[in-house]
Amino acid sequence: MNAKPQFDPKTMLSDVVRNAAVLFCLSATAPGKTRLDKEASKKSDQDHGAVEGASHNNVERLPGSAGRYDVKLRKLQAAARTLVYERTTPWGNSDKRLLPNGKIMTLAGELKTLITEFDTLKQEMIANIPTLLAEAQQNIGKYQVAVPTEDELKTRYTLTQTIEPLPDPKNFNVLSPDLAAALTRQLEAMTIAATNQAKEHVLDEMLKVVEKAIERVSLLDQHNPNSGAKTPPLHDSVMENIKAKLEMFSSFNLENNPRWKEVDAFMQRTLMHVSSEDAKSDKHVRKDILVHANEAKKKLAELKDLLVPGF
């Protein structure tokens, strides 16, 4: 059973993590996509002999050209969210995400491309608002639903990013010593819990792709080409996903933990430079993958067991 760490203000995890990572937040908003037409819903219930409230006629507020802008803008928002979720980890119960310092410029650069495309498309839409809203109103027909206002289209579509440092206990020095000490302990406990959550997320993601590689390579290795059965597929993504998650795994050794570094080095050495194409054509490559992937799985599970609960 893992022992709880003793609190020592001179060696706090919150200091270590604050110097190694930042909190990242992506904000994406859009106007409501549909509205309920109560009269149409009521009529639908009557026409079908149903109890009142059985049907809900939700009507698109932007049918037509404006709706196509809406779809494209939302897709860019979704792509940005996916990117952030792939590059960061949860941080407690907040909407903020933990991002290692070494990955700030990479993520910011990737998001800049999406945000620039989003802003350009939004400005194109805004330039055509009168025409788009007139078309949407005509396409809605007799449904009792209002199209978005011009102000909604101008202000409700947003896609922004913010970066902020983790809380610093030195900011508590203006308070009374007892209160400052209590808040420092609370911050440290929260940091331990949130950092463990972040590490567990990284370990789980790494384990998923390693286990998937074991599963797919095993099926291919056990396949008898003379059986007449279809050859189990081994997609390029199987090994590419390991490489992508391994990059994230490497960046989240926030405390420069020697055990984490050891596991990282093992996977870099044995799995980083192996392709699915090599595994398809060479049984010796498959054997090596299975040996190394199973060993990596074991090491990752051991790392997960070492996570210390907060206090």
Sequence letter at residue 75: K
Tokens of 57: 């006629």
Domain ranges, residue 182: 174-305
Residue 2 counted as domain residue: no
Q: Is the CB of residue 158 less than 8 Å from the CB of residue 29?
A: yes
| Per-residue CA distances from 308 to 13, 97, 267 (Å) | 12, 20, 23
As a dihedral over the C-alpha atoms of residue 3, residue 5, residue 249, residue 201, rounded to 10 degrees, the angle is 70
Tell me, yes or no, whether 137 lies in a domain. yes
Instruction: Mark which of 164, 199, 219 sits at the end of a domain.
Output: 164
pLDDT the model gives residue 262: 96
- Beta carbons within 8 Å of 93's beta carbon, 6+ residues apart: none
Query: Within a domain: residue 8?
Result: no
Let me know whether 17 and 157 are in one domain: yes
Q: Which residues of the chain have pLDDT under 50?
A: 1-8, 310-311
pLDDT at 4: 44
Instruction: Name the nearest CA neighbour of 43 among 138, 142, 140, 137.
Output: 142
pTM recorded for the entire structure = 0.83
Q: How many domains does the chain have?
A: 2
**Is 152 in the same domain as 193?**
no
Whether 1 is in a domain gets the answer no
Among 139, 164, 189, the domain boundary falls at 164
Residue 198 CB burial class (10 angstroms; 0-12, 13-18, ≥19): buried
DSSP 156: S
Tell me what pLDDT residue 1 has: 41
Q: Which pLDDT does position 172 carry in this prediction?
A: 85
Residues 65 and 112 in one domain: yes
pLDDT at 55: 87
Domain boundary among 130, 164, 198: 164
Collapsed DSSP state (helix, strand, coil) of residue 35:
strand
Cα–Cα distance measured from residue 39 to residue 136, given in angstroms and rounded to the nearest whole number: 20
pLDDT of residue 179: 92
Do 69 and 96 belong together in one domain?
yes
Helix (H) or strand (E) holding 236: helix 236-251
Let me know how many helices (H) and strands (E) the chain has, helices first.
Answer: 11, 6
Same domain assignment for residues 233 and 280: yes
**What per-residue confidence (pLDDT) applies to 11?**
63
The span from the CA of 2 to the CA of 9, in Å, is 21
Question: Is residue 24 domain-shared with residue 142, that is, in the same domain?
Answer: yes
Distance from first CA to last CA of the chain, Å, rounded?
14
Find the angle CA(149)-CA(158)-CA(143) to the nearest 5 degrees: 30
